[in-house]
Structure 1
Amino acid sequence: MSARTPDRSSPPALTRWERRTEVSLLAASLVFLAGYAFRVLAPDDTQPWHDISLALVGATWLIFVLDYAVRLRLSGLGLRFVRVRWLDTLVLVLPLLRPLRMVQIYTAVQVRRDRPRLTLYARVISYAGMTAVLLGFSAALGVYHREHDAQGASIRTFGDAVWWACETLTTVGYGDAVPVTPVGRFIAVGLMACGLGLLGAVTGAFSSWLIEVFRREDEKGPPASG
């Protein structure tokens, strides 16, 4: 279950708060990603937009801090909330993971539907695809931010960073673009782990779907002879 998905064991006040703030947090996630992307990619002489983007990033991060504090209080778990809601804690500490809330919120909306639009296997594949795109874009931004002016860096442009993110997520790793800074390598390790998990999820869902299709075909049996 997603760390943001309300469950039956959550206090009613916490459940109501999470449902009421879903859309607001989704908007904040988009603003955070847009502000950080502009901050990283825009030329240095684009003032005052650089300062405005920095203010947007700081303001949205403050919104998530306040939301985390409210949910910690409403949960009744005390400091155990940090461990139980470990994904929320992680994205609070690592702001570049913030866009993953969009996948979590979309999952929560689908859970509340009586009849989800997609089958289980299609939902797994679509969630994995959404996560891969958001995580890859965020990682490319972070690595480009740290690497493009580092000594001996092979990631000099944002295009290089996107290519590196694609290589890492798909576990190909040609080795033509590699991070050289400690922060860049830290991001790379996280992206490698996520890439393996996403690849396993998609492969498992697709394999299960094929097995289900073949099972249904076997149950139909051969056509009756005239």
Structure 2
Amino acid sequence: MAAEASPGARAAAPDPPVTAWERRTEWPLTVLAVLFFGAYAWRVLDTGLSPGGRSALDLFMWVAWAVYAVDYFGRLAISRQRWQFVRRHLFDLAVLLLPMFRQLRVLRLVTVLIALNRRVPSNLRTNVGVYVTGATALVGVSASLAALDAERGHAGATITTFPDALWWTLATITTVGYGDTYPVTWQGRLVAAGLMLAGIALLGVITGSIASWFVERFRGVEASLASTSQAVDESTRVELTAHAELRALRAELAELREQLSARSG
């Protein structure tokens, strides 16, 4: 009888119903995520938007958020490993629940970021340079929009335009922190905390990629040196063998010469 799988193995095992659900909803939710992002950017950047247009964009974003909530709870309902599913998607659940509070509406953008990241092809994730560049640009623009949405209109705010938000995002995500622009609301500081963590993670990925590149190059140099050394050793061995054979041949010739001299004498 085959040994029973360990709890860790069962937790890591694929969940066929959830996998099939995600395969069917991949493209619709990706398109919805892009539209969600565009609607949020339009609402934040267009200061002349009419109240009706603003309400329409808000309604669309809440509908999109509701679709993502249905997606999460639908996958949970059909999952054969519900407890493991909840444990693996705690952050997704928090992101879905927190924006229900008006003060945390800026976190709706995290929903679209999670959705897009979950649907990025695995072969793109293996290309660290492309994946990190794309993720950094998306997180940076999203953080700029969220910070501007949270800060604009508050007393003492230093982030009042989108260029200010972009400059603050660049200074924060690179961990430079000039301090000329900074959030004054707690919602903006919440965005800043997430951006700081993203910056640390980004630097870690870049540092690890550079270190991996150097290690691969040094391994290549070591392999080349080892191959060259083996070739030199082989050449030396062949040369020594040839010299030994030549000495043996000379010794045989000398012996034959002596024998011929003895017979002729």
TM-score bucket (shorter structure): 0.7 to 0.9
- Post-superposition offset of 1:57: 0.8
TM-score by length of 2: 0.72
Rounded to whole Å, the distance in 2 between the matches of 1:75 and 1:82 is 10
Structure 1 residues 45 and 190: CA distance shift in structure 2, 3 A: closer
RMSD (CA atoms): 2.4
Alignment of 1:31-70 (within 5 A): 31-46=35-50, 48-70=52-74
Q: How many pairs are equivalent?
A: 210
My pick for the range that moved more, 97-106 or 198-207, is 97-106
Q: Which has the higher helix share?
A: 2
Aligned to 1:3: none
Q: Is the 8 A contact 1:44 1:50 kept in 2?
A: no
Structure 1 residues 163-172 or 123-132, which shifts more?
Answer: 123-132
Q: Which residue of 2 aligns with 1:104?
A: 118
Quote the offset at 1:188 in angstroms. 0.5
Contact 2:173–2:195 under 8 Å retained in 1: yes
The offset of 1:42, in angstroms, is 0.9
State how far apart, in whole Å, the 2-side matches of 1:156 and 1:43 are: 11
Gap regions ≥5 residues in structure 1: 1-6, 111-115
Farther off after superposition, 147-156 or 213-222? 213-222
Q: Match of 1:113?
A: none
Q: Given the alignment, which residue of 63, 68, 88 partners 1:84?
A: 88
Structure 2 residue identity aligned to 1:181: T
Deviation at 1:25, TM superposition (A): 1.3
8 Å CA contact 1:125, 1:201 repeated in 2: no
Q: What TM-score results when the alignment is normalised by the length of structure 1?
A: 0.83
Q: 1:167 aligns with which of 166, 171, 184?
A: 171
- Of structures 1 and 2, the one with the larger relative CO (CA 8 A, separation 6+) is 1
Query: What are the within-5 Å matches in structure 2 for residues 1-40 of structure 1?
Result: 9-40=13-44
Query: Which residue among 192, 198, 217 is the counterpart of 1:194?
Result: 198
Q: CA deviation at 1:26?
A: 0.8
TM-superposed CA distance for 1:148, in Å, is 1.7
Whose Rg is larger?
2
Preserved CA contact (<8 Å) 2:15 2:81: no
Cα distance in 2, alignment partners of residues 119 and 79 from structure 1:
27
Shift, 1:62, TM fit: 1.1
The one-letter amino acid of 2:22's match is E
Percent identity, aligned pairs only?
A: 37
State the distance in 1 between where 2:202 and 2:94 align. 18
Match for residue 108 of structure 2 among 92, 95, 114: 95
CA contact (8 A) 2:141 2:166 kept: yes
